[in-house]
Amino acid sequence: MTLLWGWIIVLTLAVMMLVWMLLKQQKEDLVDHSLNRQLEQKVLDLEQHLQKTLVVVQDLAKGVYAQREQLNEQNKRIASLEQQHAELVGLFAQHLKNQAALKKDQN
């Protein structure tokens, strides 16, 4: 009979140990689930931040493209003005030669 009570006590202790381990595992699962939720929220926040950053970078790229276009137009105008300047210098040099030739002929 004492052997039977011994087995009952051992089995009771084993069941209590199993229940304790099960509760401990459930508690760890809850903690893990909470951490997962926090990590998911952090990932969502980072994705939103990344999207906002992408929008800012795209706006900056558009601005740089617009500035590049303006610089290209200004460079074309400057090149045109330089060409006109060179033509005017050439015409002025030719005019000076003609003036010099006329003075030489008059003397």
User: How many whole angstroms separate alpha carbon 34 and alpha carbon 51?
Assistant: 26
* Low-confidence stretches of the chain (pLDDT beneath 70): 107
- Rounded CA-CA distance 39/46 in Å is 10
Give residue 59's pLDDT. 96
In the structure encoding, which two tokens stand for residue 60, read together?
């900056």
Q: What is the pLDDT of residue 107?
A: 66
Return the half-sphere exposure (C-beta side, CA atoms, 13 A cut-off) of residue 64: 6
Of 34, 57, 53, 56, which Cα lies nearest the Cα of 45?
A: 53
pLDDT at 43: 95
DSSP 107: -
* CA end-to-end span of the chain: 154
